[in-house]
Amino acid sequence: MTTTLISGGTVVSATGRTEADVLVDGERIVALLEPGSRLLGTDVSAGVDRVIDATGKYVIPGGIDAHTHMQLPFGGTEASDTFETGTRAAAHGGTTSIIDFAVQRYGERVQDGLAAWHEKAAGNCAIDYGFHQIIGGVDADSLAAMRALPDEGITSFKLFMAYPGVFYSDDAQILKAMQVSRDTGMLTMMHAENGPAIDVLAEQLAEAGKTDPYYHGIARAWEMEEEATHRAIMLAKLTGAPLYVVHVSAKQAVEQLAWARDKGQNVYGETCPQYLYLSLEEQLGASSDEWGAFEGAKWVCSTPLRSREERHQDAMWQALRTNDLQMVSTDHCPFCMKDQKELGLGDFRKIPNGIGSVEHRMDLMYQGVVTGEITLERWVELTSTTPARMFGLYGRKGVIQPGADADVVVYDPNGHTSIGVGKTHHMNMDHSAWEGYEIDGHVDTVLSRGKVIVDGDQYLGAKGDGRFLKRGLSQYLI
């Protein structure tokens, strides 16, 4: 077993920061020591196998991205990152755990969908991974199968109020699934957009010749997100299910969440970097020699980018400060322009929905610290500690304390990161949604269960380092 000392750094948690050295034995953190590695007056640094100098740097718990879609079949193609490429990219960006979505499709048994996901991931991941379960067909069989999921370490499931004919659940199905959520304590995760209404608007736009990627966002109007969020909240209230709304992008949807939380309801929400930084106006203005206005397809995702003029992005940052939103995940769902996004040339409805960000979430959110949108502690809370608590991993993950897995990132606030293809990009994509972003900070060293897997820009890990995480129930259950 290797012993490692991370010395001279500032250990940052969700509640504060302290000058301390972190002692790792094998896969676990065993002690936080006074600067100078002093324990009972003795310097322990001479007795360890390896010392990592973190002087002038932050030492933080590894990032947890609780919303990814590796190899997701979608829109006639499949998300371009495998578990191998996607988790390696995540590691480069300081994320040491992901929670991906296993898929049960309509007509398929939940157990079979889950088994297929285990097969895709097992032996391929660079970092630890867990699963939520997408329920694409709520019926008597799937409802019964859902009750067994917590024993498998899967303590949350996702339903879709969007995508009729694909993943969609109607209100009756949602109600029944939420009753299982109430009975078992599993968290109901909701894609809250009114899919049937959106599909009508999208068809009308396409018939009127409005086929560019920009119209994806017009069809998916914020009213459709607000309405669905409200409906999900009311169904959750009726059933007593704990509710977590994914990829919130509209300020009106946040207002719904805040309203329900103010009334004491057990309701949570995440947003994603794209809803903090990118906008519908930029998507409209996007054009390139290669793709013309179809360049905007790079930012087609659902929920869609929102108008900067309407100040949705400002509202997301504010909600992160006020805790009306509790977490930031990526909804990492990458597609290449060539052969994938281009399936929607001439019809935005056929563009596979998704943006790839798993590698950049920690940096993009750190930029929020630099610009004064959030504090250093809140950065750690939003990207690691709350995801661990929300999804039943806390203690093992999400914190630097004795007994926790040694998933640790040494982050250099004086470093610099240029994002883009040919720069820091390791995701399996032929473009970056974040091309040209400059970050005042840098992921220097990443440890996953005590093993250094990233050192500088060098990857030292191996396929299969990552293990499946059996998760407990959310700590936010009341």
Binding site for Zn ion (CB under 5 A): 191, 331
Choose which of 57, 67, 88, 191 interacts with ligand DUC (CB under 6 A).
191
Give the residue at shortest CB distance from ligand DUC: 301
Distance CA 247, CA 286 (A): 23
Nearer to ligand DUC, 78 or 430 (CB): 78
Write down the least CB distance from residue 353 to ligand DUC, Å: 4
Contact partner at residue 353 from Zn ion, ligand DUC, none, CB < 5 to 8 Å by partner kind:
ligand DUC
Under 8 Å between Cβ of 291 and 340: no
Nearer to ligand DUC, 58 or 74 (CB): 74
Under 8 Å between Cβ of 306 and 299: no
Nearer to ligand DUC, 330 or 417 (CB): 330
Nearer to ligand DUC, 212 or 465 (CB): 212
Nearer to ligand DUC, 82 or 448 (CB): 82
Nearer to Zn ion, 52 or 90 (CB): 90
Query: Which residue matches tokens 């109007």?
Result: 221
Write down the least CB distance from residue 74 to ligand DUC, Å: 6
Choose which of 54, 260, 333, 433 interacts with ligand DUC (CB under 6 A).
333
Under 8 Å between Cβ of 422 and 454: no
Under 8 Å between Cβ of 272 and 67: yes
Write down the least CB distance from residue 422 to ligand DUC, Å: 25
Token representation of residue 17: 């920061």
What is the C-alpha R_g of the chain?
Answer: 22
Total binding residues toward ligand DUC, as defined by CB under 6 A: 9
Distance CA 146, CA 135 (A): 9
Nearer to ligand DUC, 74 or 131 (CB): 74
For residue 353, state whether it binds ligand DUC (rule: CB under 6 A): yes
For residue 354, state whether it binds ligand DUC (rule: CB under 6 A): yes
Q: Which residues contact 92 (CB under 8 A, 6 or more apart)?
A: 359, 424, 426, 443, 446, 454, 457, 459
Site for ligand DUC in 57-86 (CB under 6 A): 69, 74
Under 8 Å between Cβ of 305 and 354: no
Write down the least CB distance from residue 134 to ligand DUC, Å: 9
For residue 301, state whether it binds ligand DUC (rule: CB under 6 A): yes
Contact partner at residue 301 from Zn ion, ligand DUC, none, CB < 5 to 8 Å by partner kind:
ligand DUC
Write down the least CB distance from residue 292 to ligand DUC, Å: 22
For residue 253, state whether it binds ligand DUC (rule: CB under 6 A): no
Distance CA 291, CA 295 (A): 5
Under 8 Å between Cβ of 364 and 424: no
Choose which of 124, 142, 279, 302 interacts with ligand DUC (CB under 6 A).
302
Write down the least CB distance from residue 463 to ligand DUC, Å: 25
Nearer to Zn ion, 136 or 441 (CB): 136
Q: Nearest Cα to 90, choosing from 415, 461, 439?
A: 461
Torsion from C-alpha of 164, 170, 245, 228, nearest 10 degrees: 90
Cα of 122 vs its chain's centroid, Å = 20
Write down the least CB distance from residue 143 to Zn ion, Å: 21
Token representation of residue 120: 């895709």
Contact partner at residue 7 from Zn ion, ligand DUC, none, CB < 5 to 8 Å by partner kind:
none
Nearer to ligand DUC, 61 or 273 (CB): 273
Q: How far is CA 316 from CA 120, 121, 146, 177, 248, in A?
A: 34, 32, 32, 29, 8
Annotate 271-340 with DSSP letters as a single string.
Answer: E-HHHHH--HHHHHH--BTTTBGGGGGGG--SSPP--TTTTHHHHHHHHHHHTSS-EE---B----TTTT
Write down the least CB distance from residue 101 to ligand DUC, Å: 9
Binding positions for ligand DUC, rule: CB under 6 A: 69, 74, 191, 301-302, 331, 333, 353-354
